[in-house]
């Protein structure tokens, strides 16, 4: 995700689609040549800059030797992470978990299809329509990487329900769903030393953070950790 704290100097948005779902209102807007996703009145992400979303997947793969890897992407969003994963042949199994049916529709038959670049039709890709926190807590297959981007990060959640992902129960669930030696990558709109410590407390090793400079000043980051 990306966070734009101000709209000064930007074109006014045009609403492309508006849906009411089980988690509230989701809106797709176009602003100039870019699209924005708004959830319950809160800006979530846009198509202006996908560097950190691509880094989320690339950094996890860089920590995994060899081929034949599997990844779960938490949050389809505007599609940057999924498209980047689908472009890499080393990922043999790709699952993307998205709770908003509207967002999946916008990628299958809407303007966001250009940003996911046909990845939803890739035979390696499975789309799971579910809440990520509940999905990780349930029984299911293991993965070599979990690349999670469902909110603005551990210290800045838009949805109260998402906060559970960053706490002890959510991190324990992520740890269980990783194969031995697997990598957890978590996107955040700002660095969080407290979350780094929470990862260590949850039994993860090799905890570190990568930063991506953005115009607003506070860098986007990817928190990385490994299951021993």
Report how far Cα 180 is from the mean position of its chain's Cα atoms: 22
pLDDT tier for residue 2 given thresholds of 50, 70 and 90: very low
- Over residues 182-211, the mean pLDDT reads 97
38: pLDDT strictly greater than 70? yes
pTM of the model: 0.93
Could you give the percent of the chain with pLDDT greater than 90?
82
**CA atoms lying within 13 Å on the CB side of residue 227:** 20
The separation between the first and the last C-alpha atoms of the chain, rounded to the nearest angstrom, is 28
Least confident of 3-7, 21-25, 56-60, 195-199: 3-7
For residue 7, the model assigns a pLDDT of 46
- Over residues 81-91, the mean pLDDT reads 97
Cβ 2 vs Cβ 214: under 8 Å = yes
Indicate the average pLDDT of the chain: 93
88: pLDDT strictly greater than 70? yes
For residue 91, the model assigns a pLDDT of 97
DSSP the chain: -------TTSPPPEEEEEEEETTEEEEEEEETTEEEEEETTEEEEESS--HHHHHHHHHHHHTS-SS-EEEEEE--TTSHHHHHHHT-TTEEEEEEEES-HHHHHHHHHSTTHHHHTTGGG-TTEEEEES-HHHHHHS----EEEEEE-SSS-TTS-SSGGGGGGGSHHHHHHHHHHEEEEEEEEEEESS--HHHHHHHHHTTEEEEEEEEE--TTSSPEEEEEEEE-
pLDDT tier for residue 3 given thresholds of 50, 70 and 90: very low
How many residues can be counted in the chain?
228
Burial class (CB in 10 A: 0-12, 13-18, 19+), 11: exposed
**CA dist., res. 109 & res. 102, Å (int):** 10
For residue 4, the model assigns a pLDDT of 42
């Amino acid at each position: 995700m990306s966070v734009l704290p101000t709209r000064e100097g930007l074109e006014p948005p045009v609403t492309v689609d508006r849906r009411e779902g089980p988690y509230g209102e989701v809106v797709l807007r176009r602003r100039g040549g870019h699209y924005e996703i708004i959830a319950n009145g809160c800006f979530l992400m846009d198509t202006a800059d996908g560097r950190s979303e691509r880094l989320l997947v690339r950094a996890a793969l860089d920590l995994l030797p060899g081929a034949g890897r599997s990844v779960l992407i938490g949050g389809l969003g505007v599609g940057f992470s999924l498209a980047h994963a689908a472009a890499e042949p080393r990922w043999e199994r790709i699952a993307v978990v998205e709770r908003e049916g509207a967002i999946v529709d916008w990628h299958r038959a809407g303007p966001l299809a250009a940003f996911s670049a046909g990845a939803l039709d890739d035979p390696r890709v499975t789309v799971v329509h579910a809440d990520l926190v509940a999905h990780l807590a349930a029984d299911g297959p293991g993965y070599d990487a979990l690349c999670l981007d469902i909110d603005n990060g551990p210290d800045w959640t838009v949805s109260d329900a998402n906060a559970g992902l960053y706490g002890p129960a959510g991190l324990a669930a992520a740890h269980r769903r990783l194969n031995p030696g697997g990598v957890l990558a978590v996107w955040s709109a700002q660095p969080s030393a407290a979350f780094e410590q929470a990862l260590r407390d949850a039994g993860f090793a090799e905890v570190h953070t990568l930063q991506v400079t953005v115009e607003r000043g506070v860098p986007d980051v990817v928190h990385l950790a490994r299951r021993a």
